Amino acid sequence: MDQSVLEGINTLVEQAIPAARAMRIQITDLGPGHAAASVPLEGNTNHLGTLYAGSLFSVAEILGGAICFPTFDVSRFLPTVKTVEIHFRRPATTDVTAKATLSQEVIDRVTADAEATGKGEFILEAELTDTTGQVVATTVGTYQLRRMG
């Protein structure tokens, strides 16, 4: 995705979600069916000096909304989160990147459901890795695309 578009999405995220701005979460890659975001260790540590669990959760959860912008018609439908489950694998001692994808089959189903009923639901799995590529956490979230108005 074009860097200026990413900057615009990050500005939108910072304005809409002040906590994401405070954690310095950044969308780093975004396109139809895929999204990635990062969170720095600095400023997001816990009492042990590792990345705070809430920051890990937030960088993964934000992907469910971000992925909708290039994937679905957000001029008519907006995303909302229903559930997210996180599994911590190991302490994160570096910056972390979260990545998630949606298959074309899921995109087509959600689009059809949203058009037909005003809402479409999808499951988004994210993997969170440190700067060495080690998986520090995984998430499974249920999101819903809802018709505006």
How far is the C-alpha of 18 from the C-alpha of 22, rounded, in Å?
6
pLDDT value, residue 149: 79
Give the E-state strand segments of the chain in sequence order: 26-31, 34-39, 77-88, 96-101, 119-130, 135-147
- Measured in residues, the chain has a length of 149
Query: 115 with 147: CB under 8 angstroms?
Result: no
DSSP 8-class letter at 45: B
- 43 falls in which pLDDT band (50, 70, 90)? very high
How far is the C-alpha of 96 from the C-alpha of 132, rounded, in Å?
10
- Asked if the model's pLDDT at residue 1 lies above 80, the reply is no
Rounded to two decimals, what is the model's pTM?
A: 0.94
Average pLDDT over residues 34-56: 97
pLDDT digits (tens, 9 = 90+) for 20-33: 999 999 999 999 99
How far is the C-alpha of 79 from the C-alpha of 67, rounded, in Å?
9
CATH no. of 3-147: 3.10.129.10
Count the neighbouring beta carbons within 10 Å of the beta carbon of residue 140.
14
Looking at per-residue pLDDT, the higher value among 93 and 4 belongs to 93
pLDDT value, residue 73: 95
> Can you give the residue ranges of every domain in the chain?
3-147
DSSP 8-class letter at 118: S
pLDDT value, residue 5: 82
Kindly state the tokens that stand for 138: 């995984």
pLDDT digits (tens, 9 = 90+) for 51-96: 999 999 999 999 999 999 999 999 999 999 999 999 999 999 999 9
- Asked if the model's pLDDT at residue 14 lies above 80, the reply is yes
